[in-house]
Chain A
Amino acid sequence: MDDRALARTLARMATEIIERAQGTEGLVLVGIQRRGVELAARLRALIAQSEGVQVPRGKLDITLYRDDLQTVGPRPVVGETSLPDLDGRIVAIVDDVLYTGRTVRAALDECSDFGRPRRILLCVLIDRGGRELPIQADIVGRTVSAGPGDRVDVLVSELDGRDAVELVRP
């Protein structure tokens, strides 16, 4: 997926978010560190363009909610979490790749420690299959079937210098 394909996909996802949330009233976009945060910022800009509203945003670092902290060895670096008020809101969680579902499980737990959203939507750019938990996305940019050894790299210009999605088969 190159930069133009990525832009078209994000535009469609932004429209779908508005449809699902029936407008921007009460909508909050929450990106999961790190690339989810950049994607959420893009979606927010697209929504601002079409709806003329800057919806509240937040970022979520799920490290402290991981279920494998006892086994990962050297502690993963903890990033920043900053969330607006979530009570009664429609929270759209944004991440780059949906794989096992464990990150999303952790994100749901963390969100519920911050408040009680009216509804939580899951938006992912790439669904690569391989779920280990009963979790599914509401809005998907593209579905790819990637094997357990494959890698899906989402590159965003803010962090990686260019926009692209690459499937790496070793």
Chain B
Amino acid sequence: MTATLGKDLIGLETLSREQLQLILDTAEPFKEVSERAIKKVPALRGKTIVNLFFEASTRTRISFEFAEKRLSADTVNVASTGSSVSKGETLVDTARNLEAMRIDMVVIRHGSSGAAQFLGQRIRSNVINAGDGKHEHPTQGLLDMLTLRDRFKRLEGLKVAICGDILHSRVARSNIWGLTKLGAQVGVCGPATLLPRNVHELGVTILPRIEDAIQWADALNVLRLQLERMEAGFLPSLREYNRVFGVTNERLSRAPKDLLILHPGPMNRGVEIDSDVADGPHSVILPQVTNGVAVRMAVLYLLAGGSPDWAHPGGGGE
């Protein structure tokens, strides 16, 4: 195995098939660590990790924090409110000050696309993108892929329909890049106002109606419909969205086979997904959350050894 991840994890677009495979395969043994009575291994002992969250997040931040703690790293959480960021400090200054305190890794969530890459090019620490604007959310893409692989035992040839607001979704982008690289077919389904103009250039099938997606797919990844979008005029009303694009049991009952249901959370029950689907037998929404911790442990573990000097094949020692 010669693939390494390099210094940062910015997105899935820039990763090779081998690197994606390496992360997913490494996540497998980490699942078991979270099942132990003592949920901790010493792999990252002595490493200091800063979770720098400029946007609200519960699931992703807690998931990263569990992953870090279960690998025995020391962690600090910085939120934009209540820190010097609210006093106007720039992103780079914040990070350089943290680096002056001898940290090893930064996990960053930021509202601007490209923030993680910008930071990664300017500091020596490893940078992990936990969501940047409308660009990517690589660990969410990876945990979705791991969950799909768990259930179907393969990604090659699998048909995954991503439904909802594709235009503003970093989750959609990470899923599209990651899944297509590993040989899955990706379809996108949503109102025309919420599909990127040239989305077909990403190698996806456009499914204009939710009924088309349900006929076509093996699995649906239902995105959260952000309520702000309605105010911005992309949608007439949430009720109409639910009527036209909502994933309901009634619609699923007309599928040729049982579809696996994914959702990155937080859910708007009764808008993009109905409760009886979210809580139904084919929903893997909670297994996704469990897999999130394993995937993030794998990424942290792999990056901690990923200094550029080591990124050459044959350098490993036994």
Contacts and interface: CB of A to CB of B under 8 A. Distances in A.
Given A61-B29, A69-B43, A113-B36, A78 B305 contact: no
A73 B36 contact: no
Given A73-B305, A74-B305, A75-B304, A113 B38 contact: yes
A113 B40 contact: yes
Contacts of A75: 4, 26, 301-302, 304-306
A73 B310 contact: yes
A101 to B, nearest CB: 15
A45 B1 CA distance: 33
Interface in A51-83: 61, 63-65, 68-70, 72-82
Given A73-B310, A109-B42, A78 B29 contact: yes
Given A64-B41, A109-B42, A80 B32 contact: yes
Nearest to A81: B32
Interface string B216-250: 00000000000000000000000000000000000
A78 B30 CA distance: 8
Nearest to B315: A73
The residue in A69, A75, A79, A80 that gathers the most chain B C-beta atoms within 10 A of its C-beta is A75
Interface string A87-114: 0000000000000000000000110011
Contacts of B318: 76
Nearest to A75: B305
B29 A81 contact: yes
Nearest to A80: B29
A74 B43 CA distance: 14
A74 B36 contact: no
Interface string B283-318: 000000000000000000110111000110001111
Nearest to A79: B29
A109 B41 CA distance: 10
Contacts of A77: 1, 25-26
A128 B41 CA distance: 29
Contacts of B41: 64-65, 110, 113
A68 B43 CA distance: 10
A69 B104 CA distance: 15
A37 to B, nearest CB: 14
Contact of B310 (A74, A79, A110, A115): A74
B29 to A, nearest CB: 4
Nearest to B41: A64
A128 B301 CA distance: 32
B86 interface: no
B47 to A, nearest CB: 9
Interface of B: 1-2, 4, 25-26, 28-30, 32-33, 36-38, 40-43, 46, 71, 301-302, 304-306, 310-311, 315-318
12 contacts: A63-B43, A64-B33, A69-B43, A69-B305, A70-B46, A74-B316, A75-B302, A75-B304, A77-B26, A78-B301, A114-B37, A114-B38
Given A75-B301, A75-B304, A80-B32, 16 more contacts: A61-B29, A64-B42, A65-B42, A65-B43, A72-B305, A72-B316, A73-B305, A73-B315, A73-B317, A74-B305, A75-B302, A76-B318, A81-B32, A109-B42, A113-B41, A114-B38
